[in-house]
Amino acid sequence: MVDFFPGLKELIDSYREIDSMTAEFKSNTGLNCLPFCKACCSSLRGEIEASVFECLPLSIYLWQIREAEFFLHELDRTGSNHPCRLCNADENLPVSGGCKFYQWRPLVCRLFGFSAVLDKHGQAKIALCRTIRKADPDAEERINRLIFKRMGVPVIPHLAQKASSLNPSLGQKRYPFHLGLKLALEMLGLRIGIMDGRMDEKK
């Protein structure tokens, strides 16, 4: 299925690179999610945005495990003021258990809280989540000093531009995450249906 869409293999490879970058950044700063916190999954709701292209790896996986139709139904019932349908509400799960499909989460979820934005002077500044900022009021200033000293940090605009350039037709426009995932699932379902139809014709 990866071959259905130009740039998709490269996107999946870039996700692995981003995970390595954020892991190194966490190690260098001591920054990490608070234990059992899933605030970004349950409270940002319609503010989380992703392109259809970013949602394709997860869509492929959902079709492969035969859960795509279930989630299409769930996403039809999801509004901008709903928490993420992929969030596991079990409060006893560890940090990485917040998302039911953590390995296939989109770009924004990989970068949130462990990356930087650019200020008006083009200087990278850490974009901490509110929960970490509240728990560690000095973290923002401390980490920005390290970034100013040229410590490596994933920069959101750079990585988002790189991802969108891999498939401009599907990667440029951003949607609320639930809508982007729904469109990706529908698009992939249509492709699968077309391919199945062609296979039937050859039999």
Domain ranges of the chain: 2-202
CB atoms under 10 Å from CB of 117, counted, come to 12
Q: Which residues have C-beta within 8 Å of that of residue 87, sequence separation ≥ 6? A: 38, 41, 42, 98, 99, 100
Is the pLDDT at 120 greater than 90, yes or no?
Answer: yes
| pLDDT attached to residue 198 | 44
Residue range 2-33, pLDDT digits in tens: 677 999 999 999 999 999 999 999 999 999 88
68 or 197, higher pLDDT: 68
pLDDT band at 80 (very low <50, low <70, confident <90, very high): low
Distance CA 109, CA 55 (A): 11
pLDDT at 199: 40
User: Alpha-carbon distance 115 to 153, whole Å?
Assistant: 6
